[in-house]
Amino acid sequence: MLDKTDKRILFELERNSRIPDTQLAKKVNKSKDSVRYRITKLEEKRIIKNYKTWIDYSKLGFRTSTIYLSTLNMPEKKQALINSLKKDKRVYWYGIAEGVWNIGITYFIHSNQDLINIKNELASKYKDFITNLTITSLAGVSVHEKTFLIDEPSKFTSFTEETQNIKLDAIEKDILKHLYFDSKINLATLSDKCKSTVDIIRGRIKKLEKQGIIIRYTIEIDYHKIGYELYKAFVYLANYTPKEIQSMMNYTEKSNKIINVVKQIAPWEFELILFVNNFQDYLQTINKLTETNPQIFKKIETAIMSEDVIFPCGEVCL
């Protein structure tokens, strides 16, 4: 089990994985050597899996759309589909779940025709495996910091799916590719990989941060190893007034279990992402949500996540 210091270290690294050890030591009130030792242990146990950079792809002209699949119990077909997703550079995310759906896939698209082509491709290739296919489009997302680790309040940071078309040069693309898979890479090493100078790389990184293309330097945590389970709740509303929706958003912002609220163009209105200790914890969280204003909720569907994979092909789409 992790103690409070370990959880605070994870929280601070998830917030900014490039934070210097000296600053992190001050935040957790431990020595620099003690902090470095704890981080090394978290890495060895694979609790810290990777150091990643959060990139806003909408600034680069990409949209995202998620396709949720309900499937038959056909392990070979399922594995064949997963294997294909791991090779597909169009795939941003896939998730495996039990509940209202079984496989979710988020694709990068430039147009609705891209989405139609992908849908037809899936429906044709896996017609004997897929029993239902639901297409959604991202409208916006509100994101908490992982306050369930430290039980402190946090404000939502919100983003909308309004695309821009910022053009990147070759150096900037290289920077993003290397930073995405190693947010802690030092400037000298990054400069060598990008065949440039430290000053140029430093300047380009600041530019990408200012443009909002680089949002956050973070870490990938294996939450199962520290006692948390990932759930998704799909919320259907009975009342759509701004006042009622804001009431729901106010509650979710105060919750340290509901980490993300995703607004979608879909059969449901909101997708909630929760980190909880177990199914009972999930039910209590959802029950408290609905009790705050029961008349606005029509129904809530649940998916229990067993896999949650970003960039399964191992290559950033640029």
Domain positions in the chain: 1-45, 140-161+226-308
The helix-helix angle for 170-181 and 198-210 (nearest 10°) equals 80
The pLDDT of 115-133, averaged and rounded, is: 95
Residues whose CB falls within 8 Å of the CB of residue 68, separated by 6 or more in sequence, listed in order = 100, 101, 103, 104, 133, 134, 136
AA letter at 43: E
Compute the distance between CA of residue 279 and CA of residue 48 in angstroms, rounded to an integer.
24
Which DSSP state fits 60?
Answer: B
The pLDDT of 11-20, averaged and rounded, is: 95
Residues whose CB falls within 8 Å of the CB of residue 286, separated by 6 or more in sequence, listed in order = 233, 300, 302
Higher pLDDT, 68 or 243: 68
Looking at residue 163, its pLDDT comes to 83
Least confident window among 153-162, 257-266, 298-307: 153-162
- CATH number belonging to domain 140-161+226-308: 3.30.70.920
Instruction: Convert the pLDDT of each residue in 172-223 to its tens digit.
Output: 999 999 999 999 999 999 999 999 999 999 999 999 999 999 999 999 999 9
pLDDT exceeds 90 at position 242: no
pLDDT exceeds 80 at position 269: yes
What is the average pLDDT score of the chain?
Answer: 93
Looking at residue 153, its pLDDT comes to 83
> What's the whole-model pTM score?
0.91
Looking at residue 190, its pLDDT comes to 97
Q: Coil, strand or helix: which one is 232?
A: strand
* Residue 14 near residue 155, CB atoms below 8 Å: no
Compute the distance between CA of residue 242 and CA of residue 235 in angstroms, rounded to an integer.
16
Residues whose CB falls within 8 Å of the CB of residue 155, separated by 6 or more in sequence, listed in order = 253
Report the share of the chain in percent with pLDDT over 90: 78
Looking at residue 174, its pLDDT comes to 96
Higher pLDDT, 160 or 132: 132
Compute the distance between CA of residue 28 and CA of residue 105 in angstroms, rounded to an integer.
38
Tell me the H-state helices in the chain: 4-15, 21-28, 32-44, 75-85, 112-125, 170-181, 187-193, 198-210, 242-254, 279-292
pLDDT exceeds 70 at position 161: no
What backbone phi and psi angles, to 5 degrees, belong to 135?
-100, 135
Report the share of the chain in percent with pLDDT over 70: 100
Instruction: Label residue 59 by pLDDT band (50, 70, 90).
Output: very high
* Residue 247 near residue 292, CB atoms below 8 Å: yes
The architecture of the domain spanning 1-45 is Orthogonal Bundle (1.10)
